[in-house]
Amino acid sequence: MKVVYFDCFNGISGDMILGALFDLGLDRESWFRELNKLDISGYRVEVNPKRKGPLMGTDVNIIVDDKVAHRHAKEILDIVSNSRLADDIKEKSLKILTRIAYAESYIHNETLEEVHLHELGGIDTIVDVVGSVIGLKLLGIERVYSSPLPLGEGFVETAHGRLPIPAPATAELLKGVPVYSNGVRGELVTPTGAGIISTLSHSFGPIPPITIEKIGYGAGKKDFSIPNMLRAIVGELYQEKHRDTNTIIDVNIDDMNPQICGYLMDKLFEVGALDVFFTPIYMKKSRPAIKLTVISPSHLVDKLIDVIFRETTSIGVRTYQVEKIMLPREIIEVDTPWGLARVKVSYINGTPKIMPEYDDCKKIAEKTGIPIQEVMKEVLELAVKKISFLDRD
């Protein structure tokens, strides 16, 4: 899976995102051809190399004609909705623009029909947002990641007067996003930058495990004590595996009532066994027997052995350590026609492995009378749709 990691070491804005994408090799002609599907005029876009301190990057300047008036938020949304853009570009762009518009309307206590996007500049906003979505698609980026965001300090002059940093709309858009101060005085995260990254980023944190292919730098307009650049790192995502050490407890049993096995398994799981299973074997003199295998966390070995000695005829066990290699996993819930059901999801090189939780499917089957295979099939299909939607966002 091809991903991009935005290293926002000195903030993020719409034009910095575009600059970084062009610096990565975004084809200008292809980008302008897609952007023209918006069917708007009154602006031009300049793309030029630019140095910020010791770093070279790309600067994108959106120049809007003086005669072009600021639009209401709803007008901007209508422009995108009625455009000739591809559906996936239109969908993501509208999601970003709608979040920005609602943040502005909430801050100024105005409806979408009333609110003007003063600082966002109308056409500037459309080009920044739609242009970023187009650029990501043309570069083949399938998922976006971001570092935590430095907000800057002090005050910013706006059409509404002098406001604290982060600007109220920016702060509204960054709810739930990890932020910090890097000590730089000035506005480092703009409302447009906040709207784009908070909507598109899969997660915020350290760079994910990737094989780096390209690095691009997008230049900001102001100069600060550290380079006003946004770094974009593109690479192929590989799945980091989790490693752990477990202990295997083995014991051969040939002189015990096999009816006890079910009870024994329950007791071992109660103590904390990771897994318990029985294997039919033949021992000396061809005596049929059962091999009990318990997978134990290292700190529970003695307690599990005590259960085996207490509940079986065994007077000795074998133990040995093994390395356990696991894919990272998460549990998600899907909303089925019969209620919520949990699904276990892990990833291998960006490709999901999905398994409905048996206990949840069993409860649904028992409650509804629907065959459990049909329940599991429906839960699996709903999970695939949900994961595809999350990745698309």
SS3 category, 347: strand
Residue found under tokens 């003695």: 302
Query: How far lies 325's CA from each of 214, 240, 242, 349, in Å?
Result: 30, 10, 6, 15
Mean pLDDT for the stretch of residues 116-126:
66
What order of strands is seen across the sheet that includes strand 275-282? Answer: 275-282, 288-297, 242-253, 318-326
Name the average pLDDT for the chain. Answer: 88
For the ranges 59-68, 106-115, 358-367, which has the lowest average pLDDT? Answer: 106-115
* Each residue's pLDDT tens digit, 348-359: 766 788 999 999
pTM as predicted = 0.65
User: Do the bridges between strand 143-146 and strand 2-7 make them parallel or antiparallel, or are there none, so unpaired?
Assistant: parallel
Single out the residue of 77, 45, 48, 47 nearest to residue 63, CA to CA: 45
* Each residue's pLDDT tens digit, 137-150: 999 999 999 999 99
- Rg over alpha carbons for the chain, rounded to the nearest Å, is 29
Mean pLDDT for the stretch of residues 268-291:
93
User: For residue 252, what are its two tokens?
Assistant: 């051969």
pLDDT at 225 over 80: yes
Q: What is the per-residue pLDDT for 11? A: 94
> Apex CA 141: angle with CA 213 and CA 166, to 5°?
100
* Each residue's pLDDT tens digit, 6-38: 999 999 999 999 999 999 999 999 999 999 999
> Higher-confidence residue: 74 or 91?
91
Strand positions, DSSP E, the chain: 2-7, 43-52, 55-64, 143-146, 149-150, 155-158, 161-164, 179-180, 201-204, 210-219, 229-237, 242-253, 275-282, 288-297, 318-326, 329-336, 339-348, 351-356
Residue found under tokens 């187009």: 134
- Structural domains of the chain ordered from first start: 2-237 (no CATH), 242-326 (3.30.70.1380), 329-392 (3.10.20)
User: For residue 222, what are its two tokens?
Assistant: 């102001």
Distance CA 353, CA 330 (A): 11
Q: What is the per-residue pLDDT for 15? A: 95
Beta bridge partners of 351: 348
| pLDDT band for position 119 (cuts 50, 70, 90) | very low
Q: What is the per-residue pLDDT for 393? A: 47
Q: What is the per-residue pLDDT for 115? A: 61
Q: What is the per-residue pLDDT for 111? A: 63
